[in-house]
């Protein structure tokens, strides 16, 4: 992943192509062919437009037109009035036919192709303006050198006219590029978010701990990917046009300069790729360490109160500074290698200033070419050299882009590929049915390093309550994760209803970013529930005054900081009473409540006829459950009635 190679290109296509064309076997060749044909079609379109303008100008004001564009009408006539026009027609018809052939694959993606077509057309127009400027500049400087006032003022006006026409074209070009980039970013972000927040992929990423900072990959890396991809597409396109256009100009002025340019650019590119390889892993690490540093600061912000209570400022300072120091160290390495690359690329660029004049001076002094030819040759040489030297001039951007492509590629592969099961690892079988039952369940940690519970069997009849008790660390919460399907490592068979009919209440309630109404209705925030019912439920959980305290149900606040932990637990119970799930799983969901509030909430839960499983340490919880599952450590367990368990404690 640390090289400019074909694998990097394949990774890039897997991310970029779906925006324009679906990923299928061999689809990369189809996509690239369509892109090439689009360029052919647009080039032919530009030729047709130029031909129309040229022929019209030739008939309306032939003398003036021939004086500012000598030979253009004859060049176009040699194409449109000869069999060569067939080539132009084919350049128009073949792309149209091909796009019609693949219309089913791209009809849902017409907007990206439309934006891209406009953008490429404008890019061709900008390149055409550069060609016009090179010729006008030639005539203009020649007239100046020869003190030819008539031609000087004529081409000065033409120069000004080109700028007047070119300004809106260039502005619209950049605007279209940014619009397409923004639209592409939205599409790609939606795609990654859909995958990240489905099939519990976000939980698997955090559990496996193999993929760092998914938040940065979705925000920063996707943004950089879309912007840089379009930038390089346009650079490559303009480079191709410049090579085709300006090589002919340069060849007509000096063949030796053309040959030298080709050799010079090739050697420069090879050397730059060789010394620039090291920048890819350094940029990859820099992105990661900057994200780690930012996460450290966010962690301090999110846990400000706890840190203040513990007076842990010094420890947090050490931790955050350590993260920053790692980013600082890596950046020092990065700019050190950038310096090494700059030694070559800077000297490579400086040499360009003198080389054209050095080669052309003898033939200029001999009177073979005019002064304007030198200025045009300099301009053409610069354009063609920049086209051939994309890698040299863009190596730092390319290396950072390659690092971003690799980060997005690994992220995409994780989201799209099902987790493989290594040899010797087993998975718990899951069946969707009623009632909830565990049949010979053995629970392993996800890394299979420890067995928490072995050969556990139980069935929970509907309408009853099960209390899971035991010392800390014996696997109570892990068993709940298994029931929820978060952990699947182990053996046995789990029978449970659809997750949509179950609601889990963790010890630390989750407060979403949203309004009070959304908090109460989460995770089904789109349900229509009238405010009278919301008030009634809040009253049941002793939070009747909450809407008044926060100015209504539609106020957005930082609920984790506004409400105490006890209030958050009661709000979570309100969610439970509103959603009326068939099953409820409570992981010490009343640990921050007093006994009176705990009793109130469990009575309401029992009246709702919900089947529930609780994890807790309080003896007071026994009265609200029918059975007790005690996890005893060392993989042992026992299942008894609450009466038996209470009797043993007397």
Instruction: For 2-64, give the DSSP string.
Output: -SSSHHHHHHHHHHHGGGTS---TTHHHHHHHHHHHHHHHHHHHHHHHHHHHHHHHHHHSHHH
Per-residue confidence at 2, pLDDT binned at 50, 70, 90? low
Helix (H, G, I), strand (E, B) or coil at 453: strand
Q: Could you identify the residue written with the tokens 């073949």?
A: 94
- CA gap 436, 525 in Å, rounded: 27
Q: Could you identify the residue written with the tokens 């209470």?
A: 646
Q: Mean of the per-residue pLDDT values for the chain?
A: 86
Question: pLDDT tens-digit profile of 496-530?
Answer: 999 889 999 887 888 888 899 999 998 887 778 89
Per-residue confidence at 453, pLDDT binned at 50, 70, 90? very high
Helix (H) or strand (E) holding 644: helix 642-649
Asked if 642 and 614 count as a contact pair (C-beta separation under 8 A), the reply is no
Please name which of 400, 401, 408, 404 lies closest in space to residue 214, comparing C-alpha atoms. 408
Instruction: Please list the residues that pair with 586 across neighbouring strands.
Output: 505, 614
Helix (H) or strand (E) holding 421: none
Asked if 299 and 268 count as a contact pair (C-beta separation under 8 A), the reply is no
- CA gap 128, 503 in Å, rounded: 64
- Does the structure show a pLDDT above 90 at 438? yes
Burial per residue of 23-34, b for 16 or more beta-carbon CB atoms within 10 angstroms, e otherwise = eeeebbebbeeb
- How high is the pLDDT of residue 226? 92
- Does the structure show a pLDDT above 90 at 141? no
- What contacts 478, CB < 8 A, 6 or more positions away? 443, 445, 452, 453, 487
Asked if 389 and 265 count as a contact pair (C-beta separation under 8 A), the reply is yes
Question: pLDDT tens-digit profile of 308-349?
Answer: 867 888 888 998 999 999 999 999 999 988 888 888 878 777
Asked if 583 and 561 count as a contact pair (C-beta separation under 8 A), the reply is no
- CA gap 528, 535 in Å, rounded: 14
Q: How far is CA 62 from CA 54, 67, 137, 247, in A?
A: 10, 9, 22, 29
- What contacts 547, CB < 8 A, 6 or more positions away? 516, 534, 535, 538, 553
Q: Which residue has better confidence, 70 or 172? A: 172
Please name which of 502, 578, 568, 512 lies closest in space to residue 540, comparing C-alpha atoms. 578
- CA gap 543, 537 in Å, rounded: 8
Instruction: For 283-326, give the DSSP string.
Output: HHHHHHHHHHHHHHHHHHHHTHHHHHHHT-HHHHHHHHHHHHHH
Percent of residues, the chain, with pLDDT higher than 90: 36
- Does the structure show a pLDDT above 60 at 1? no
Q: What is the CA radius of gyration of the chain?
A: 35
Please name the residue ranges forming H helices in 389-442: 390-393, 395-416
Q: DSSP character for 552?
A: S
- Does the structure show a pLDDT above 70 at 286? yes
Q: DSSP character for 635?
A: B
With the CA atoms of 613, 619, 623 and 624 taken in that order, what torsion angle do they form, in degrees rounded to the nearest 10?
-20
- Does the structure show a pLDDT above 70 at 101? yes
- What contacts 46, CB < 8 A, 6 or more positions away? 121, 124, 125, 128
Q: How far is CA 169 from CA 47, 52, 92, 596, in A?
A: 17, 19, 23, 73
Per-residue confidence at 418, pLDDT binned at 50, 70, 90? low
Percent of residues, the chain, with pLDDT higher than 70: 96
Per-residue confidence at 266, pLDDT binned at 50, 70, 90? confident
Helix (H, G, I), strand (E, B) or coil at 515: strand
Query: Across residues 396-422, what is the average pLDDT?
Result: 82
- How high is the pLDDT of residue 449? 86
Asked if 405 and 468 count as a contact pair (C-beta separation under 8 A), the reply is no
Per-residue confidence at 37, pLDDT binned at 50, 70, 90? very high
- CA gap 459, 438 in Å, rounded: 6
CATH of the structural domain 429-649, one choice from 3.30.360.10, 1.10.1510.10, 3.40.800.20, 3.40.50.300: 3.40.50.300
Question: pLDDT tens-digit profile of 474-502?
Answer: 999 899 989 988 888 999 999 999 988 99
Given CATH 1.10.1040.10, say whether it is the number of domain 6-21+102-416: no
Query: Across residues 200-218, what is the average pLDDT?
Result: 85
Per-residue confidence at 4, pLDDT binned at 50, 70, 90? low
- How high is the pLDDT of residue 131? 75
- The number of C-alpha atoms within 13 Å of 334 and in the hemisphere containing its C-beta is 21
How many CB atoms are closer than 10 A to CB 546?
23
Asked if 616 and 644 count as a contact pair (C-beta separation under 8 A), the reply is no
Q: Which residue has better confidence, 252 or 57? A: 57
Question: pLDDT tens-digit profile of 385-403?
Answer: 777 777 677 777 888 888 8
Least confident span in 179-183, 511-515, 640-644: 511-515
The structural domains of the chain, with segments of one domain joined by +, span 6-21+102-416, 429-649
- Does the structure show a pLDDT above 80 at 225? yes
Q: What is the pTM for the complete model shown?
A: 0.76
- What contacts 443, CB < 8 A, 6 or more positions away? 428, 451, 452, 453, 456, 475, 478, 479, 482, 487, 489, 490
Q: Which residue has better confidence, 277 or 196? A: 196
Q: How far is CA 596 from CA 276, 536, 541, 600, 628, in A?
A: 68, 19, 11, 6, 22
User: Which of the listed ranges 29-33, 74-78, 353-357 does the model predict with the highest average pLDDT?
Assistant: 29-33
- What contacts 383, CB < 8 A, 6 or more positions away? 130, 134, 242, 246
- CA gap 202, 414 in Å, rounded: 10
- Does the structure show a pLDDT above 70 at 253? yes
Question: pLDDT tens-digit profile of 159-175?
Answer: 788 788 888 988 998 89
């Amino acid at each position: 992943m640390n090289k400019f190679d074909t694998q990097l290109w394949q990774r890039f296509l897997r991310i970029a192509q779906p925006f324009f064309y679906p990923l299928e076997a061999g689809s990369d060749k189809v996509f690239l062919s369509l892109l090439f044909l689009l360029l052919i079609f647009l080039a032919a379109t530009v030729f047709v437009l130029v031909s129309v303008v040229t022929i019209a100008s030739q008939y309306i004001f032939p003398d003036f037109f021939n004086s500012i564009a000598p030979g253009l009408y004859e060049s176009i006539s040699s194409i449109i009035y000869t069999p060569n026009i067939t080539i132009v027609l084919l350049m128009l018809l073949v792309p149209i036919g091909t796009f019609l052939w693949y219309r089913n694959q791209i009809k849902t993606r017409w907007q990206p192709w439309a934006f891209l077509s406009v953008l490429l057309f404008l890019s061709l127009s900008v390149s055409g303006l550069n060609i016009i400027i090179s010729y006008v500049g030639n005539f203009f400087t020649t007239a100046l050198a020869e003190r030819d006032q008539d031609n000087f003022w004529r081409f000065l006006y033409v120069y000004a006219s080109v700028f007047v026409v070119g300004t809106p074209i260039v502005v619209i070009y950049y605007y279209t590029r940014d619009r397409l980039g923004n639209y592409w970013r939205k599409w790609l972000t939606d795609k990654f978010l859909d995958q990240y927040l489905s099939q519990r992929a976000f939980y698997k990423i955090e559990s496996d701990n193999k993929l760092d900072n998914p938040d940065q990959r979705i925000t920063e890396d996707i943004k950089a990917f879309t912007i840089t991809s379009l930038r390089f597409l346009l650079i490559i396109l303009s480079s191709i046009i410049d090579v085709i256009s300006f090589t002919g100009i340069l060849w007509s002025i000096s063949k030796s300069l053309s040959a030298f340019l080709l050799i010079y650019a090739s050697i420069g590119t090879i050397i730059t790729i060789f010394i620039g390889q090291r920048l890819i892993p350094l940029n990859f690490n820099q992105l990661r360490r900057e994200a780690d540093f930012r996460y450290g600061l966010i962690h301090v912000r999110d846990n400000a109160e706890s840190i203040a209570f513990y007076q842990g400022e010094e420890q947090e300072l050490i931790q955050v500074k350590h993260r920053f120091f790692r980013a600082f160290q890596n950046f020092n390495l990065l700019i050190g290698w950038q310096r090494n690359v700059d030694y070559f690329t800077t000297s490579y660029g400086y040499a360009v200033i003198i080389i054209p004049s050095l080669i052309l001076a003898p033939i200029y002094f001999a009177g073979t070419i005019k002064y304007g030819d030198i200025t045009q040759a300099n301009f053409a040489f610069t354009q063609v050299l920049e086209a051939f030297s994309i890698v040299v001039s863009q190596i730092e951007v390319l290396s950072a882009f390659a690092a971003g492509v690799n980060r997005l590629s690994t992220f995409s592969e994780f989201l799209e590929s099902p987790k493989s099961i290594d040899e010797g690892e087993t998975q718990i079988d899951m069946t969707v049915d009623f009632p909830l039952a565990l049949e010979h369940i053995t629970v392993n940690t996800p890394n299979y390093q420890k067995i928490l519970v072995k050969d556990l069997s139980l069935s929970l009849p509907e309408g009853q309550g099960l209390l899971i008790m035991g010392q800390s660390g014996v696997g109570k919460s892990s068993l709940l994760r298994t029931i929820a399907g978060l952990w699947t490592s182990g053996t046995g068979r789990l029978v449970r209803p659809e997750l949509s009919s179950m609601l889990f209440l963790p010890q630390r309630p989750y407060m979403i970013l949203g309004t009070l109404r959304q908090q109460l209705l989460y995770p089904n925030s789109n349900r229509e529930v009238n405010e009278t019912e919301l008030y009634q439920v809040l009253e049941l959980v002793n939070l009747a005054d909450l809407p008044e305290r926060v100015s209504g149900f539609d106020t957005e606040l930082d609920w984790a900081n506004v409400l105490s932990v006890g209030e958050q637990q009661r709000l979570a119970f309100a969610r439970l009473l509103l959603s009326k799930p068939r099953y409820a799983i409570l992981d010490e969901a009343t640990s921050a409540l007093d006994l009176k509030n705990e009793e109130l909430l469990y009575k309401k839960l029992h009246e709702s006829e919900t089947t529930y499983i609780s994890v807790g340490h309080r003896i007071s919880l026994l009265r609200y459950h029918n059975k007790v599952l005690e996890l005893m450590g060392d993989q042992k367990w026992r299942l008894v009635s609450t009466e038996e368990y209470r009797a043993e404690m007397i």
